[in-house]
Amino acid sequence: MSHQRYPEMFRRLEARREGAFIPFVMLGDPDLATSARILVELAESEADAIEVGIPFSDPVADGPVIQAAAVRALAAGTTPAACWTLIRGLRRRRGTLPIGVLTYTNLALQRGPEQFYHEAAASGADSVLLADLGSEEATPFAALARAAGIASIMIVPPNATPERLSRLANLTEGFSYVTRRSGVTGEDSTEAASTAGLIRDLKRTGAPPALLGFGIGEPSHVREALALGAAGAISGSALVRRIATAAPDRLGEVTRTFVAEMKAATRSLGVASSGRGLEN
């Protein structure tokens, strides 16, 4: 199944004693042609995996930077079909690269969840995260994803109870998306003293390795994620903001430099790994 690329990635990184760095970009931002160029740069970068957003008109879980990216993408005429085409191009460039899709439940419902997951798999994607899908409603979606060969990713909030952690662990494949803080995505951070304990508790459930997201904007945040016990970090708003403000002729340089700086931070600590995802 395609989502075996995640455990294979974690095994490679464990052997090198590195954490994972995974950048996020919104597909179609600022337009389809530029988005395709950005994906080429990411495919040739040091990114360990890539998360891509399919723009949705009401991105309630996203902060202002990613919301603005979705608005730009939709204004440029980006459709789910165009996004699958972009993902297919990315897959052709890096066959072993884990590719995750982030979007919203209504988009899957509009297409029909079974068809949506099959389209994701056909594009070469490995995982899907529906940002507004609660664990109580996720079971049928996770079953359809699994049947299509797609890993279903669930967000693990910092205030998750033991019962909820267990439920999320049973639903999630590939990796566990642990949020650095509650709320929407973005670069600003607040201290979450319980994050290390949450990651420890999550590991005890047998969940896939934890990746820390929300508020990952600079290399020190990546080092913090590893120190807290995460297997790596996901950064969205920081790169999306750079893409929005970069001169067109500097997009490649800006993208490569950001990924290289963030990836370098994953080599600053020895990474002890554990979790169900390493043994799949």
Question: Of 18, 29, 48, 62, which residue is the catalytic one?
Answer: 62
Cα–Cα distance measured from residue 214 to residue 115, given in angstroms and rounded to the nearest whole number: 29
Indicate if 188 belongs to the active site.
no
With H, G, I as helix, E, B as strand and everything else as coil, classify residue 72: helix
Residue showing tokens 């070469």: 124
Cα–Cα distance measured from residue 99 to residue 121, given in angstroms and rounded to the nearest whole number: 10
Cα–Cα distance measured from residue 39 to residue 27, given in angstroms and rounded to the nearest whole number: 9
Indicate if 62 belongs to the active site.
yes
Question: Of 18, 48, 51, 187, which residue is the catalytic one?
Answer: 51
Q: Say which amino acid occupies 21.
A: F
Cα–Cα distance measured from residue 75 to residue 71, given in angstroms and rounded to the nearest whole number: 6
123 sits in which H/E element:
helix 113-123
Cα→Cα distances 70→26, 52, 58, Å: 7, 11, 9
Which pairing describes strands 20-26 and 176-179: parallel, antiparallel, or unpaired?
A: unpaired
User: So which residues are the catalytic ones?
Assistant: 51, 62
